[in-house]
Structure 1
Amino acid sequence: MKRHLTITAICFFIIYIIIITVSAIPGNILLKASGLSQPFATALTEVVVILLWLIFDRTYLKSGITLQTTRNQQHWWMLVFILIMIGGDSLLVASYHLTVSSVLTALILGLLVGAAEEFVFRGLLISFLKKYFTLTALQIALWSGVIFGAVHVVNVSSSGNLLNTVAQILGAFGIGFLLAAIYLITNNLWMIMIGHGLIDAFDQIAFSSLSNAVGTSIFTGVLYFVAYLLIGIWLLNKYQPRVR
């Protein structure tokens, strides 16, 4: 896994599916046994996901990931791209739930899911690729986007709609690529964790789901894919982040 890039990508995909499946077990048990609410079960799942990946990193990956920010914080302006993503989702067919409890629940779940996914697909994965492979920033961002998009293929089993799943994969690839580019430039994992969390929180409020899958289409999937890919490439060309 530490020598072959394609094997690394496949392994990350398989391990993520295994870990997310195993992590859901405690919450599902409590959900059925004690009447635990679904939001709490989801939150518990995300906490377990982070803990299991931390253990896997300490015992095998040894990626060298750090949550400390070491570069100039002037790049916080890049959060504007998060607002663009939220703006894009706001144009989809939505049904907003704006009660105090629903907004608080959305913020908690969104931030937990965003933190877990960014920790894995940007923090761990990018740190691992930088440490064990000789790649350019563009190549690293592409791999991050590809793997992040690929894990969304499992959504076809829940939605039963292949075109909708393809749209999700394309959108996730574009978002993953852009967030990877921002992380490579800023070395600030907290920023993209918060940004991703706000996107998921908005989607929970707008679509009663931690994604925009309900309101998306193949057109919006392609649009997100192209737009975020171009923005990410522009940022990488502008800032030329060092990966070594």
Structure 2
Amino acid sequence: MEERIKQYAETIKEKGVSKSNKRKALNLIRYAEDFVIWHKDQTVVEECQRIISKWLNDMGLELKPSKTRITHTMDGFEFLGFNIRQYKVGKNQSKQGFKTIIKPSKEKISEHYEQLSLVIDRHKAAPQEALIRQLKPIIRGWCNYHKTVCSQEVFSKIDYMLWNKLRRWGYRRHPKKSKTWVNSKYWGTIGEDNWMFKTFEGNHLPKHAKTEIVRHKKIQDTRSPYDGDLIYWSTRMRKYPEMTTQKGKLLERQKGFEVTVR
């Protein structure tokens, strides 16, 4: 599919533009059966939709209308659980006159909070430690997936919602106790944070906002995990089947430069 779109790109009529630059100007990003295409000319995007529809029809498949739409990047779109949108900015902020912001989608935020709420509701009478044990992997998994984009504000918002939910959980368990008593029983201080949901033994619930934002590094076009370049993949991933974890971390710190001491 990608190559069919790139072949079409070469036929686009645009004066003074080489075929290679035409191919670069028409972008297609695909993950499994989900994909997004963008180009500065809407008619080009519409033609791509027609080409892909025909390509799929030849295999007995079709585009799902409910998941297919054409939109402007300034309006934004959803892809793989993220909201991708461009915003106008001054020329001193960006030579292009806009910047691209990627955030977790509202749908995925809602789904995540509902999942956390369901776990809490199912553990109304369970010990605090058991509740933490159930919530912890859900929070870490969601944060790890979304930590490569602009998620800090979203992480803080979810923490606030979760804090309110957990406080209600605590108040319902001890209706005859004061809120101050309940707060001191289920929350404590770790470092400079006075509102950590934690047990007396120190087992605590991680906060979304404590997750470090790590920008995604695009894989070079010519790279493959099977190309045998241990230094490149260990620098990128830290972990690689043919490289020890310790050496992978060392290569990352050295930005890929390997030093041999004799």
TM normalised by structure 2 equals 0.27
Greater relative contact order (Cα < 8 A, sep 6+): 1
Structure that is richer in strand per residue: 2
TM normalised by structure 1 equals 0.28
Structure that is richer in helix per residue: 1
